[in-house]
Structure formats: C-alpha cells, structure tokens
A and B are shown apart, each in its own frame.
Chain A
Amino acid sequence: MSSVITIDHVSKSYGTCNAVSDLTLSLHAGEILGFLGANGAGKTTTIKMLLGFFSPDSGQISLFGHNPSDASTRQRVGFMPETAYYYPYLNIRELLSFYGGLCGMSSSLIRQRSEDLIARTGLDHAKKRLLKTYSKGMLQRAGIAQALLHDPDLLILDEPFTGLDPLARIQLRDLILELKTKGKTILFSSHELSEAELMCDRVAIMKNGKLVLAKPVKEVVCDGNTNLERIFLNVLQAP
C-alpha cells in the first residue's frame, strides 16, 4: 500500500514551547486516522505543517511523495480548519464557487458539485442567506462542504465534529465512511472519542507534542471490557 502522508522525525517549537517533538507517523491510502490528544497537544500544529503553512524545524513531511508547500500537491488535499468565520458577505453558493475557482474547477463542475454538497451538508434551506447569518454549526457544515468540493484524495479535518448537532454528526460520520469506500484517505483530529472509535481504522494519541500511541482501533479495544475513552485517559495520565 502506498503511503499518502509521511511524517518523519518532525519537530516544531514556538519559542520555548515544543509544540511537536520528533513525530513520526504515516498514513496509507484508504485509511481513516483519528488524531487525538489533550488541548495544546500539538494536533493543529502538525496539521498546519502537513498543509505547508509553515515548515517543520527539523524532519521531513511529504504528501503523496511531494512537498506539501507546492501548490500542485494541495490539488489532491481537502482541508477543513478549526472554527473559521467564512466571508460574511457571501452566500454558501458563492463561497463554494470562490473556493472552486481557486481549485481551478470549471463553473459547470462547481455548480454541480456545490448543489450536491449543499444538500449533503443540510444547508439547502439556507443557501440564499449570507454567511454572516449562519450559526456556528452551519459554518462548520460550510467548512465541510468546501473541503470536499474538489473531490480530494486526502481529507484533513481539524475537529470536524465540534459544534455539530447529533443528527449532523451522524450525517458527517456516514459521509466520511462513504468517502472511505471510495478509497479516500482521511485524517481528522478530534476530542470525540466515541466517534473516533466508531469510524477510525487507526488512532494516534499525542501528549505534549509527542506521539504516545499509534495503533489500529481493533488492537486498542480488543477485549469487550475496555473502550477508547478509558485507554485515552490511561495514556494521558501515565507519568
């Protein structure tokens, strides 16, 4: 199986704060990885480096075997950030058409894909409204739609479940699983351990910038008495 994400001994610090230290991780095509850890563990920092927002202080990162800071590499990547306040003076269609244009998509393709995604993310009733009138969860849905717009092979989602109502969570979970069947690779960070347990092939747990556990979910919760939450607490509370 070919490796989609390769993170090789990567470290990054902000001044004296070691946000990520010596992280090595890889992700195969078609795999779903849950990226877990306490607040400030270094998940978002890792994701930012994966997208080439800045380079690591040391170590190597590659996506599909290429440098993530090349624009062409990102053609195959969809990204949804932690809470973003999308352009308040656009409606969802215009937002998607803007991002589609940035991906170099033709306007007919954009129209077709965005109608589909607006329906899938449940924003149909609000598609004529400006985004400044959207609630937090609605903005989160808009974020999901823009990440999927250009049908990327790799999806990187930073806390996609925050702010979603239970129904939307289930819909998102179904959507992610559907994408997996289409052979897409997905990495998401989350604090929702139950979601991770249900969806992921593998989990990676970070603590203070270090990777403390990276295993297939099946191996982590092998016997019926334990669950991911318990494992997570054990790992984080270990000295």
Chain B
Amino acid sequence: MNFPLTITLLILPPCLLFSTSNLIENSSARCGYSVHPQQGQGDNLLDIIAGDTRTIIGNALLEKAEAYYHGGLTDHGDCSLVTAGEGHDHNHHEDERDSVQSSAWRDPWSYLNAQLQTKAHVHLDKAEELLPWYWAACEASPHNIQALEAAAYALAQMAEKPQAALQLLEKGIRDNPYNVTLELSRGEILIKHFKDFKNAETAFLAAYQKSLHEKASKDDILKAKALFYLGYITKHRNDLNALQQWQQIARETMSLDLLSIRNLLELN
C-alpha cells in the first residue's frame, strides 16, 4: 500500500477547504440563486454532486462552529445558537455521576466513556474562536443561507464587528440574488448597529420586492417582516403617508396590520 498516497487522500479535503475555497466558490458562482439554501443548483450531474458535497462540508463546518459555541460539545440539546444569548452560561454538573457509578461494574465501558464526556455546560466567551469555522462554512457553500446568517449573527452580535457582518451579507446577497432573509438581516444590522435608516429602508424594500418574486421562497413570515420594518422606518421619519401605504399593503396581501405583525413576530 502506498503510504504517501493514503496520507494525501486523508488530509486533502481539509487542506482544500482552507486553502483553495476561493476556487470552489468561483466555480460555483454561476450556480445562481437558491430557493432552498441547502442545495447547490446546477443542470448537470457533476454540478449537483459538487454542490451536494459542498453543502455537506458546509453543514459539517457549521455544526463545528455551533459545537464551539457550546465549548466543543456537539450534543447540546435545546440550546440553539440563534436564541441563545445572554444568561445562558449555567453550569449544570448533574448528579449523573452517582447513577453512573452504580453501573461501573455492570458496564465499565459506558462508565469510562461517561468519565471522558464533560458534564459542564459552558459557553464560549471568545467569539473569535467561532469565526474560522463560520468563515469556512460560508466559503465552502456560498448558497448555504443558514451558514451566512449564523456567521453574520456571530460577527455582529458576538464579535461586535457589524461592518464585517454587512460585507458578508452583501456578498451573500450577490451570490443568492433572490434570497429575502439575507436582505432582512442586512437591514436589521443597519438599523441596530449603525442607525442607518436610509440604507436599511433600501434593504427592506429589496426584501419586500424579492419576496414577491416567483423565484423567491413563499414564506409569508419573511414578507410580513419586510412590511413591518418598512412601516417602522417610515414611522421613524414621520412619513405618515408612506406608513399608511404599507399598512394598506399589509392588510391587503396578508390580511394583517403592522401592529399584529409585530406581535406575531415578537419584534420590537
């Protein structure tokens, strides 16, 4: 058996991922938009296979990033990244040890394994540690909206680098021109971190228009969110006419008014 060959085969994938992911990305740039963020688009088999592989790698990297958020724990149950925020750093050293102890003789293997696994539930304090994995996930699968969103969240909220988050989202929007979510996130960051209502309005307007496009996701929640923010911004600059207009559109297209949308989406 050829030793160097084996080694090369084993480590080539991770190497490629980190050093030449630009290549992957360029070759896939023509793949167009994505309705289902998890799938690469293409018209021949090779494109589909390449797309799927990228998706799998991207998801694995995304999972890695989430594990890092939970101190390396992959099995983190109910703690989802997007909702997990402050006040989530509880340590529960459960009394698992006692229940395990009794079975040490009956089942030494699972006893020893339990000793190896951690019982502490800790959260990462240094957001920078997550970024390489998010970066790699986004590079590996540029159409993976979940990865883009999570990375933007980590950048803006945790690492406090909203500018970098905006750049990432803008690139994501270029790669996925019919995606509504990315526009919404961009608008939210512009409001929250830059108080830039003018550009935010452009983003939400784009989100709303994309949500009407036949190629976009048919998720009404996204449309509702766009409408709410558009109303919110027009209200902010006291443009009551425009506000009325958005109210009207919301009632007509979704049979909801903006206030109930706000309540529905728990926005503030």
Contact between chain A and chain B defined by CB under 8 Å: no
List residues of A whose CB falls within 8 A of some B CB: none
List residues of B whose CB falls within 8 A of some A CB: none
